[in-house]
Amino acid sequence: MAGAMGGATMIPQGVLGERACASPAHGTGSTDTPVTQTPPLRKYVDPLPRPMTAIPDPSVYPGADYYEITMRQGSWRFHRDLGPATVWGYWAKNPHHAHRAIGMGYLGPTISVLKDHPTVVKYCNELPTTHLFQFVIDAIRSGDPQLTPIAPPPYKSKPPFPPHINVWNVVHQHGGFTAPQSDGMPLQSFSPDGFHAESYSTLDPSRVKPNEAISGYTNHERSSMLWYHDHGMGMTSVNVYAGLAGLYLVRDPADERLGLPEGEFEVPLILQDRTFGRDGSLAYTMTQREGEDTPVVNGKAYPFLAVEPRRYRLRVLNASNERFWRLKFDVPRDVLPQPTLPFWLIGTDGGLREPLPMLNFLISPAERYDLIVDFSQLPMGTNVTLTNYNAPVHFPGGGGPEISEIMQFQVTKRLSGGADKTTPPKKLNLPQVAPIELKPHTRRREWVLYQHQLFGTMTFDAVPFMEPSQDFIKAGSTEIWEYINPNHDAHPMHVHLVNFQVLNRQPIDAAGYQAAYERWIDGGRTSEDLPVLANYLTGPPIPADPDEARSYKDTVKSYPETVTRIVIEEFTPPTGTIASIPGSGTEYPATYVHHCHILEHEDDDLMRPWTIVDHDDHGGGGHGGAAHGGGHGH
């Protein structure tokens, strides 16, 4: 956990240095096949790419911006010394030039919207019907015990995708306040040849072909950086790894008065780790090891960014499949009194927060950090290196490839436009996030990260994802969710629809709790035998880290041998109609999902549905995401 001005890491005793005991199904290192290694690459020779911004068409749906986003296979060069790689990416239709789609080939264009002005997106699936990493799909289909979800007793295992499907996709707007039918949940997947998963849904069905779906977004979020990415059932990990991710910026005109860096001085950084063959091809090695061996930022390995001696706003997304990053900005020792350039945190997943001075931070997959970095005190010609340290994959005790350097900021551009007129971070008047008020009767809901054996399937509460929703939440209520993690890996937990605040963490007797939980399962899951969490707590609650506290989040780090508590203020999905499209608002019961955002864990079943019901309703609904409850009836 990163704290103010470089704060300490607080991990339960006995965890650091241990080999991770909850490695994902993808990544056991148990194969005899040699693991692909990226050839040596010269660092900081490729300029940092900046994803282009998609152009909306306001004429299709009055009162909303409309986009057409197509998933396609293409080519992308990750480094000047590597040949072109076959990749997947999102391309946006250009309403002004029909034959000039907006995209790079890898990743996707940025969608930039105004707060509360709705967006409608048609997603078109034009990918091949054979996967770029078909060997993973084949292994899952063949029942490989380290790749295929195995249901704990008494449940029966179900295949994550049909026998004839090698590619299917659905787009999730991560962090969005979205009706379930537009949320992009796994069982809403659709294939390039038009096959639909059981809970496929689309708005305005008369406007779509079988390989398309329309989603509507309220944009009723705080000013923040969301992102969109693939969520295909059973194959999210390889679909995102192939390139299916992009940024979604929610802008608030009121922010213009804050004096934040903007334009070329606001820089998105999409962090990933990838491995490449000697020919430059994209290699997926997480069936053999944990994590990949090369840093990639905005699609380039070891890029550089030429900067002016002034303040920059860096908007960081960890879009890696598995890797946590602990980041700092290193400077030559003769430049500053200390070897690390300080910076300010001004926002997290859910938007702006009170500025916090820092020297480093730990970011897990799917989290976003909004930073102000000031290069003005550095001499011209100074190189500032973004480095990663003390963050093995899997975190905190894994054995994956180490990555110590990521990219470089080179102070080589002269100051343009006169003096830097942006507001110094310590003087920024940013929104202060008030703690969510708890009441004595606030409901607590436990989620146990269960794994029966090393390298085995992980589930919540020893229940497979494909089982119907068992958690029903009254609309408008407040709840505390407790993620009980008795294993040795940290897990980034993402909850769809809502923002939340991190309440605290508390160490547990992990071995004792795990043994009691196994007895509960073996004894038939009777309520009287369910372990009582309070009996296994081994220390006082630990407050949220300074970079999490007084912030809105949609993803939280669930540390090993710890219970992590979050508080969700209000479960109220959007019910209004979007752009006059019938059926675009939420109807109850409304089912969403939450899951680990280590994508290989998500695919291996660490994901469960939960359902919002109206005040007078006490059940119903499945977890497909359709407004009427989806495909799994209760």
pLDDT tens, residue by residue, 388-401: 999 999 999 999 99
For 603, the 3-state DSSP assignment is: helix
Is there a domain that residue 397 lies in? yes
15, pLDDT greater than 50: no
Residues sharing a CB contact under 8 Å with residue 36, sequence separation 6 or more, in sequence order: 275, 276, 277, 283, 285
For 345, the 3-state DSSP assignment is: strand
Query: 47 preceded by cis ω (within 30°)?
Result: no
Backbone phi and psi for residue 590, each to the nearest 5 degrees, phi listed first: -120, 120
10, pLDDT greater than 90: no
Percent of the chain past pLDDT 90, that is, above it, reads 89
| 458, 594: one domain | yes
41, pLDDT greater than 70: yes
Q: Report the pLDDT value the prediction gives residue 22, as an integer from 0 to 100.
A: 39
| 250, 268: one domain | no
Structure tokens, 185: 């949940």
Handedness of CA 143, 146, 152, 158 (dihedral sign): negative
Q: Name the nearest CA neighbour of 629 among 180, 295, 137.
A: 180
Q: Report the pLDDT value the prediction gives residue 617, as an integer from 0 to 100.
A: 61
454, pLDDT greater than 90: no
624, pLDDT greater than 60: no
pLDDT tens, residue by residue, 51-73: 999 999 999 999 999 999 999 99
Tell me what the pLDDT averaged over the chain comes to. Answer: 92
User: What's the rounded Cα separation, in Å, for the pair 365 and 415?
Assistant: 35
Q: Report the pLDDT value the prediction gives residue 453, as an integer from 0 to 100.
A: 82
pLDDT band of residue 210 (cuts 50, 70, 90) is: very high
Contact 119, 56 (CB under 8 A): yes
Q: Report the pLDDT value the prediction gives residue 11, as an integer from 0 to 100.
A: 31
Q: Report the pLDDT value the prediction gives residue 33, as an integer from 0 to 100.
A: 82
| 334, 466: one domain | no
Structure tokens, 206: 């008369």
**Residue ending a domain, choose from 426, 460, 475:** 426
Is there a domain that residue 120 lies in? yes
| 268, 249: one domain | no
For 323, the 3-state DSSP assignment is: coil
Is there a domain that residue 3 lies in? no
| 574, 460: one domain | yes
319, pLDDT greater than 90: yes
135/417: higher pLDDT? 135
Is there a domain that residue 452 lies in? yes
Question: Could you give the C-alpha distances from 451 to 17, 40, 97, 454, 518, in angstroms and in order?
Answer: 21, 37, 52, 7, 10
| 277, 246: one domain | no
Domain of 167, in residue numbers: 65-254
Angular region, 194: left φ>0, alpha ψ -120 to 50, beta rest: left
User: What's the rounded Cα separation, in Å, for the pair 61 and 83?
Assistant: 42
Is there a domain that residue 21 lies in? no
| 413, 450: one domain | no
Q: Report the pLDDT value the prediction gives residue 626, as an integer from 0 to 100.
A: 37
Q: Report the pLDDT value the prediction gives residue 14, as an integer from 0 to 100.
A: 31
| 287, 190: one domain | no
Number of structural domains found in the chain: 3
Contact 490, 396 (CB under 8 A): yes
pLDDT band of residue 31 (cuts 50, 70, 90) is: low
| 421, 365: one domain | yes
Q: Report the pLDDT value the prediction gives residue 98, as an integer from 0 to 100.
A: 87
125/8: higher pLDDT? 125
| 174, 316: one domain | no
- Edge-to-edge strands of the sheet including 212-217? 85-92, 65-76, 119-125, 212-217
Which CATH number do you get for residue 550? 2.60.40.420
| 545, 609: one domain | yes
333/90: higher pLDDT? 90
The predicted model gives 375-385 an average pLDDT of 97
28, pLDDT greater than 70: no
Is there a domain that residue 25 lies in? no
| 207, 302: one domain | no
Structure tokens, 219: 């944009």
Q: Report the pLDDT value the prediction gives residue 1, as an integer from 0 to 100.
A: 32
Q: Report the pLDDT value the prediction gives residue 618, as an integer from 0 to 100.
A: 52
**Residue ending a domain, choose from 254, 286, 310:** 254
The predicted model gives 297-310 an average pLDDT of 98
21, pLDDT greater than 90: no
Percent of the chain past pLDDT 70, that is, above it, reads 92
Q: Report the pLDDT value the prediction gives residue 623, as an integer from 0 to 100.
A: 43
613, pLDDT greater than 80: yes
Contact 479, 513 (CB under 8 A): no
Is there a domain that residue 123 lies in? yes
**Rg for the chain, CA atoms, rounded:** 23
Structure tokens, 631: 């495909």
32, pLDDT greater than 80: no
Is there a domain that residue 400 lies in? yes
Structure tokens, 539: 């220390």
pLDDT tens, residue by residue, 216-234: 999 999 999 999 999 999 9
pLDDT tens, residue by residue, 343-357: 999 999 999 999 999
